[in-house]
A and B are shown apart, each in its own frame.
Chain A
Amino acid sequence: MNFKHVIRIASITFEESYRKKFLYILLFLSAILMVSAFLFDPFNIGQQLPVVKDICLTGLSFFGLTLTFALFLTAIPNEIEKKTLYPLLSKPVSRSDYLWGKFLGNMAMVFINLLVITLEITFLINKLIPSDINMAFRMAELKPIIWSAFLLFVECGVVGALIVLFSPFMSYPVNLVLTLLMYISGNVSQGYINFIAAEQSSSLGAMLAIVLKYILPNFEYFHIKNSVVHSYIVDPVYVSGSALYGLVYIMIVLLIADILFQRKDL
Chain B
Amino acid sequence: MDYAIKTENLVKVYTGKKKSAGKPVNALVDLNLEVKVGDIYGFIGPNGAGKTTTIKSLMGLIRPTSGKAFIMGKPAGSVEAKQLVGYLSEVAYYYPFMEVGKLLDFYCSFYEIPRSQRKSKIEETLALVRLSDKINAKMSELSKGMMQRFGIAQAIIAKPPLLILDELTSGLDPIAQKEVKDIVLDLKKQGQTIFFSSHMMTEVENICDQIGIIYSGVMLKSAPLDAFLKEESGDFSKIVFEEASDSVLAKFKEKKIDTEKIRAGVYSAVVPDKDLEDFIDMLRAEKCRVSEVNPRRYSLEDAFFQLIKESEKK
- B82 interface residue, CB < 8 Å from A? yes
Cα–Cα distance between A45 and B155 once the two chains are bound (Å): 66
B80: nearest chain-A partner, CB-CB: A92
From A82, A83, A87, B154 is in contact (CB under 8 Å) with A87
Tell me if A92 and B110 are in contact (CB < 8 A): yes
Q: Who on chain A is nearest to B86 by CB?
A: A90
A29 to B110, CA, bound (A): 39
The minimal Cβ–Cβ distance linking B114 to chain A, given in whole angstroms, is: 13
> Bound complex: CA of A89 vs CA of B110, how far in Å?
10
Which of B60, B82, B94 sits near A84, CB closer than 8 Å? B94
Asked if residues B63 and A265 are in contact (CB atoms below 8 Å), the reply is: yes
A12 and B110 CA atoms in complex are apart in Å by 13
Question: Does residue A21 face the partner (Cβ distance < 8 Å to B)?
Answer: no
From A2, A15, A19, A90, give the contact of B59 (CB < 8 A). Answer: A90
Cβ of A8 under 8 Å from chain B: yes
Q: Choose one: B56, B61, B62, B79; the contact of A94 (CB below 8 Å).
A: B79
Q: Does A86 contact B (CB under 8 A)?
A: yes
List of A residues within 8 angstroms of B93 by Cβ: 82-84
Contact of A266 with B97 in the complex, beta carbons under 8 Å: no
- A263→B95 CA distance, assembly (Å): 25
Scoring B residues 29 to 60 as 1 if CB is less than 8 Å from chain A, else 0, what string do you get?
A: 00000000000000000000000000010011
Place the interface of chain B in its size category.
Answer: 20 to 34
Q: A266 to B52, alpha carbons, bound, how many Å?
A: 12
- Interface status of B83 (Cβ within 8 A of chain A): yes
- Chain B residues in 8 Å Cβ range of A90: 59, 61, 82, 85-87, 89, 155
Q: Please state if A5 and B60 are interface contacts (CB–CB under 8 Å).
A: no
Q: From the candidates B62, B87, B92, B106, name the one contacting A12 in the complex (CB within 8 A).
A: B106
Counting chain A residues whose Cβ lies within 8 A of the other chain, the interface size class is 20 to 34
Q: Which residues of B contact A82 (CB under 8 A)?
A: 93
A2 to B82, CA, bound (A): 14
Residue of A nearest to B87 (CB): A90
Chain B hits for A263, CB < 8 A: 63
The answer on a CB contact under 8 Å between B82 and A93 is: yes
Across-interface contacts of A93 in B (CB, < 8 A) = 79, 82, 110
Max chain B Cβ within 10 angstroms of own Cβ: one of A15, A19, A265: A265
- Does any Cβ of B come within 8 Å of A41's Cβ? no
Q: Is the CB of A83 within 8 A of B91?
A: yes
Would you call A127 an interface residue if the criterion is a C-beta within 8 Å of the partner chain's C-beta atoms? no
7 closest Cβ pairs, A-B complex: A90-B87, A91-B110, A265-B62, A86-B89, A266-B61, A92-B82, A82-B93
Taking A2-B79, A82-B93, A91-B111 as known contacts, 18 extra A-B pairs with beta carbons closer than 8 A to each other, sorted by chain A number, are A5-B110, A12-B106, A15-B98, A16-B95, A16-B97, A83-B92, A87-B94, A87-B107, A87-B151, A87-B154, A90-B61, A90-B87, A92-B110, A92-B111, A93-B79, A265-B56, A265-B62, A266-B61
23 A-B Cβ contacts within 8 A? A2-B79, A12-B95, A12-B106, A82-B93, A83-B91, A86-B87, A86-B89, A86-B92, A87-B94, A88-B107, A89-B60, A90-B86, A90-B87, A90-B89, A91-B82, A92-B82, A92-B110, A93-B82, A263-B63, A265-B16, A265-B56, A265-B62, A266-B56
* B interface residues, Cβ below 8 angstroms from A: 16, 56, 59-63, 79-80, 82-83, 85-87, 89, 91-95, 97-98, 106-107, 109-111, 151, 154-155
